[in-house]
């Protein structure tokens, strides 16, 4: 059985011929599905030069159906005449199609797969409609973005109505479900049981290390963080914050500058650092050097995979009660949720964790249990069980029983 996956995450081949993915979470997802198939064919943008260190695809049965590299819809659609033949050849090459959305290439691969009679399943990992108000475009750019969002949302619903569909978190699953066709809730994850830490508590040292792991763009709400750090300092807490992640496009660069400027204006520039992106294989052990995790994200998320990464590493979480996050994080059980991510609300939640060792320890212990239930292996087993039963396809069995 040959599985074809279409998505927009760029790949490249290194000097040793190994496939590498820029961010890392998608590479781990692909590796989790590889034991169930004879071959996985990735229809993804391919870089002509290395995109940093990246994350290696470890499975030997993963190949490429390369697309010309594109950075979002603004670069995809002008190249559509060159991309369409590649998408058709990809659909013809595979036995089972998997579209991870939103991505502009998915609707074309899905249409070709349907014409060729290929069974398909969908995984929706983001809510474009919920992002509309947080994207800082103006004038014609804002109109074009809203038009594209509406177009892509219709495409995703159309595909969900005609395939086996999964969605990241309860909010997305409910949004795309219909009376006669339920979307199956899942959770984006990058973790294995081997990644699980054992420490029972944090905040043992004098200086407290806070961490945010996120792409830097206006949709993540990161500009409140310098103010939250300043308020914690005023309360007498000696805190440092690292915001780990790349700036995404021109809006992300502007957001990066705004965070740096705000930290300087508040006198906490030495306490707020933006070290940039860190490859996933280095990032997972790095979590264990931090005391608390904070993500003041805005609507538009499914379930950020970084929340499970923090839980796996024994880092108590403060995040926002938006989108699919409450499907994973239960307030005062395995994290703290804030309804409105203002600086005061974020600082108050962090101060509560800093002051209450019992609460921290309870969140850490319950976070470990949540992580055990949501490993890559466990998620892949659940998804592939649904794929096999509902699409009536014969899959290979993994070499070992799924963990978790």
CATH code at position 138: 3.40.50.2000
Residues 71 and 217 in one domain: no
Mean pLDDT of 81-95: 97
Q: Greater confidence, 72 or 117?
A: 117
The answer as to whether 400 is a domain residue is no
The answer as to whether 131 is a domain residue is yes
Mean pLDDT of 99-104: 95
Helices 106-115 and 80-93 pack at an angle, to 10 degrees, of 50
The answer as to whether 396 is a domain residue is no
| pLDDT over 50 at 87, yes or no | yes
Average pLDDT, the chain: 92
CA atoms within 13 A on the CB side of 257: 5
* For the chain, percent of residues with pLDDT exceeding 90: 75
Residues 234 and 298 in one domain: yes
Q: What angle do CA 89, 93, 94 make, to 5 degrees?
A: 130
| pLDDT over 60 at 403, yes or no | no
Other CB atoms within a 10 A radius of the CB of residue 53 amount to: 16
N residues, the chain: 404
Supply the pLDDT for residue 120. 98
Residues 369 and 380 in one domain: no
Cα 345 to Cα 178: distance, rounded to the nearest angstrom: 36
Our count of domains for the chain comes to 2
* For the chain, percent of residues with pLDDT exceeding 70: 96
Cis peptide before 102 (omega within 30 of 0): yes
Residues 166 and 239 in one domain: no
Cα 261 to Cα 255: distance, rounded to the nearest angstrom: 10
Helices 139-160 and 106-115 pack at an angle, to 10 degrees, of 30
| pLDDT over 80 at 134, yes or no | no
Residues 153 and 241 in one domain: no
pLDDT-derived band at 72 (thresholds 50, 70, 90) equals confident
The answer as to whether 34 is a domain residue is yes
* The token pair that represents 154 in the structure block: 């219709």
Strand 19-21 versus strand 11-13 pairing type: antiparallel
Supply the pLDDT for residue 130. 73
Q: In what order do the strands lie in the sheet with 272-276?
A: 272-276, 239-244, 208-213, 292-295, 317-320, 336-338
Supply the pLDDT for residue 33. 96
The answer as to whether 404 is a domain residue is no
Cα 99 to Cα 102: distance, rounded to the nearest angstrom: 9
| pLDDT over 60 at 7, yes or no | yes
Secondary structure of 24-45 in the HEC alphabet? CHHHHHHHHHHHHCCEEEEECE
Supply the pLDDT for residue 324. 85
| Partners of 273 in the β-ladder | 242
Q: In what order do the strands lie in the sheet with 62-64?
A: 62-64, 39-43, 2-6, 96-101, 120-124, 164-168, 184-186
Q: Greater confidence, 116 or 302?
A: 116
Residues 205 and 184 in one domain: no
Residues 183 and 202 in one domain: no
The answer as to whether 161 is a domain residue is yes
Which range of residues forms the domain containing residue 75? 2-189+376-391
Question: Which residues are CB-neighbours of 182 under 8 A, at least 6 positions away?
Answer: 173
Residues 198 and 178 in one domain: no
Residues 380 and 341 in one domain: no
* The token pair that represents 344 in the structure block: 């005061």
Supply the pLDDT for residue 205. 78
The answer as to whether 273 is a domain residue is yes
Residues 172 and 205 in one domain: no
Residues 156 and 29 in one domain: yes
The answer as to whether 274 is a domain residue is yes
Residues 67 and 143 in one domain: yes
274 with 243: CB under 8 angstroms? yes
């Amino acid at each position: 059985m040959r599985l074809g996956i279409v998505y927009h995450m760029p790949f490249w081949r290194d000097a040793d011929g190994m496939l590498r993915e820029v961010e890392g979470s998608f590479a781990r997802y692909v590796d989790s599905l590889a034991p169930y198939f004879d071959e996985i064919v990735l229809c993804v943008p391919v870089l002509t030069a290395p995109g940093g260190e990246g994350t290696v695809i470890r499975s030997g049965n993963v190949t490429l159906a390369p697309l010309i590299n594109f950075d979002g819809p603004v670069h995809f659609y002008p190249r559509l005449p060159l991309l369409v033949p590649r998408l058709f050849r990809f659909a013809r090459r595979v036995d089972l199609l998997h579209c991870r959305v939103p991505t502009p290439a998915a609707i074309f691969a899905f249409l070709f797969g349907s014409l060729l009679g290929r069974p398909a399943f969908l995984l929706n990992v983001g809510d474009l409609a919920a992002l509309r108000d947080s994207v800082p475009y103006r004038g014609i750019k804002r109109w074009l973005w809203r038009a594209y969002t509406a177009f892509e949302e219709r495409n995703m619903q159309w595909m969900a109505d005609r395939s086996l569909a999964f969605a990241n978190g309860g909010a997305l699953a409910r949004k795309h479900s219909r009376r006669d066709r339920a979307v199956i809730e899942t959770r984006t994850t990058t973790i294995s049981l081997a990644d699980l830490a054992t420490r029972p508590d944090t905040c043992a040292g004098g200086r407290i290390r806070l961490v945010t792991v996120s792409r830097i763009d206006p949709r993540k709400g990161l500009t409140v963080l310098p103010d939250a750090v300043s308020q914690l300092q005023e309360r007498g807490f000696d805190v440092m914050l690292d915001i780990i992640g790349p700036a995404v496009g021109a809006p992300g660069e502007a957001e990066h500058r705004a965070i740096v400027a705000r930290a300087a204006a508040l006198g906490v520039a030495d306490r707020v650092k933006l070290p940039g992106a860190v490859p996933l294989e280095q990032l997972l052990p790095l979590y264990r050097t931090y005391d608390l995790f904070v993500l003041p994200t805005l609507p538009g998320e499914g379930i950020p995979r970084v929340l499970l990464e923090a839980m796996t590493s024994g880092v108590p979480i403060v995040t926002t009660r938006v989108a699919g996050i409450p499907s994973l994080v239960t307030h005062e059980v395995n994290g703290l949720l804030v309804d409105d991510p203002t600086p005061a609300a974020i600082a108050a939640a962090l101060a509560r964790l800093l002051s209450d060792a019992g609460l921290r320890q309870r969140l850490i212990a319950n976070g470990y249990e949540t992580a055990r239930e949501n490993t890559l292996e466990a998620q892949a087993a659940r998804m592939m069980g649904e794929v096999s039963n509902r699409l009536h396809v014969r899959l290979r069995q993994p070499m070992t029983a799924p963990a978790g």
